Amino acid sequence: MFRKKHSHATGFPSRAELLHDPSLNKGTAFTEAERDALGLRGLLPPRVFSQDQQVTRVMGNYRKKPTDIERYIFLISLQARNEALFYRVLMDHITEMMPIIYTPTVGEACLEYGHIFRKPRGLYVTAEDRGHVEDILWNWLEEDVRIIVVTDGERILGLGDLGAAGMGIPVGKLALYTACAGIPPAYTLPITLDVGTNNTALLGDPLYVGRQHPRITGPAYDEFIEEFITAVREVFPRALVQFEDFANHNAFRLLHRYRDKLPCFNDDIQGTAAVTLAGLYSSLRITGQRLRDQTILFQGAGEAGIGIGSLIVAAMQSEGLSRDEAYRRVWFVDSKGLVVKSRPNLAEHKRPFAHEHPPADNLLDAITALKPNALIGVSASPQSFTAEVIETMGRINERPIIFPLSNPTSKSECTAEQAYRGTDGRAIFASGSPFAPVEINGETRHPGQSNNAYIFPGLGLGVIASQARFVSDTMFFEAAKTLSAQTSSGDLRSGNPFPPLNKIRAVSAQIAAAVARVAYDEGLAQRPQPKDILKDIRDKMYTPEYLSYV
């Protein structure tokens, strides 16, 4: 049962392990019989509490915390001492907890990471470890890792280069893999590749947790990444690798280089694309239109935007458009204006979306010229969807689709209230970070959150359950369609193009089953196909129940 060292006297883990290993610790929930058998009598308060009673205590203390960052610290500390209780709290209160353990609060936690640091979690692999990366991976205590979230910290949310302080992102994402899709915590491994930082504030911060030197680049960087991937394949051969928050100049090429060498994906490119496509599908259920007839305009042409645009193109092709016709319906505005073919020195990833068209200097001019049905913000430029931009979208469309997706909340292109009030309540809205409901025209609008947590946990579960050799584009396409199908007509009437977060485990199971079916259909699965894929998925999902020791 246990990989960790046992007490020779009892055959059970030692008392120190039982009380200090979060995967074994039950705290005050150790029963009377367990306390006697395990030598815990006197080491705990006399009264035995159930897990439900422990949750009540945790929530009482949690809600007394004065700020979100204090709530984050409280939850991470709970995770470090009692894993099952942490996940029970997270699952039972996912709507309340999601903005704390994930965006937007995780962004603040990364900014303050060195100053709020309590206990290490995950692996830090530094550029100075070159030649010994495999040895570092062997130091991890769990042998059967199935999912790795790895970052080099160069583009954390919309906050930029946070170096090793970006570890909060892999830790948070993997907590959601367990809470939202039931992947056992022992299967998960957060990794930060510390290749330095160019953030001058961190280079001068005496409490920064990483190496204080500029980022390595060029061949040295590529050789380090290659050694890391090679080591993962050797030490954790069944692991799915999720690339997270790599900068544009590395994200696309690393995905292209490794996607056919091991199961991997980039959540900023592909996960964001799938959840946004799902939001568009749901929005079109409201408008009664087809995706192939829409004109989509993006503000921001980085990895998230290009990833979304590429998946939209594939979806439009599935509805009968040619490749050229589909690309022609997707447009981008970047810091220099509308991306058009006549512009010199376009980055490679933007070229498929550069069309023959007169230049437009700004977003409003582009909207006026193109008359888009949907406006998607992935620019990390706060308040760039101005009142005039929103009002113009409302004049062009009966039900304008407005998705300001940049994270955290401080980077959002507009707020939900601005979008609704600027369109007299007609906007179909979804954002990257959550916004509160808005009262307008006597009705309550419930803003959608285009949250990647709707996609990546279920996708990861499907890949793990089928033991897929690679992650295909079709998996993201099917995940998007499945997510949209889980959005009820009641959700749509309230203005939300996504299902409520409290249903996310059920949604993740459906997505996992859809992804696994793709793996079987495409010949990527290494595990025999079960008779009932969905039942097989549900049977594999972790629940945070305490172990019984006697």
CA distances from 497 to 402, 403, 447, 451, 547 (A): 11, 11, 8, 11, 39
Pair 24, 1: CB distance under 8 Å: no
Q: Please provide the size of the chain in residues.
A: 550
Q: Name the token pair of 234.
A: 């050797």
CA-based end-to-end distance of the chain: 13
Look-up of token digits 């209780």: 85
Pair 462, 475: CB distance under 8 Å: yes
Contacts of 218 (CB under 8 A, 6+ apart): none
Q: Catalogue the E-assigned strands of 86-194.
A: 123-126, 147-151, 188-194
| Catalytic position from the list 62, 72, 87, 102 | 102
Question: Is beta strand 330-334 parallel, antiparallel or unpaired with respect to 337-338?
Answer: antiparallel
CA distances from 371 to 73, 359, 367, 380, 392 (A): 46, 15, 5, 23, 9
CA distances from 518 to 198, 447, 482 (A): 41, 31, 12
- CB burial class (10 A; 0-12, 13-18, 19+) of residue 17? middle
Q: Name the token pair of 194.
A: 């510390």
Pair 160, 177: CB distance under 8 Å: no
Cα 49–chain centre separation? 34
Say what the alpha-carbon torsion angle 482, 483, 486, 492 is, to the nearest 10 degrees. Answer: -130
Q: Name the token pair of 375.
A: 């406006």
Question: Is 102 among the residues known to form the active site?
Answer: yes
CA distances from 303 to 224, 402, 479 (A): 22, 19, 19
Pair 483, 533: CB distance under 8 Å: no
Smallest Cα–Cα separation from 117: which of 23, 207, 245? 207
- Say how far apart CA 6 and CA 2 lie, in whole Å: 8
- Say how far apart CA 279 and CA 491 lie, in whole Å: 12
Helix (H, G, I), strand (E, B) or coil at 228: helix
Pair 183, 114: CB distance under 8 Å: no
Alpha helices in 3-49 (DSSP H): 15-20, 32-38
Dihedral pair phi/psi, residue 338, rounded to 5°: -65, 135
Question: Is 62 among the residues known to form the active site?
Answer: no
| Catalytic position from the list 173, 327, 542, 549 | 173
Q: Which residues are catalytic?
A: 102, 173
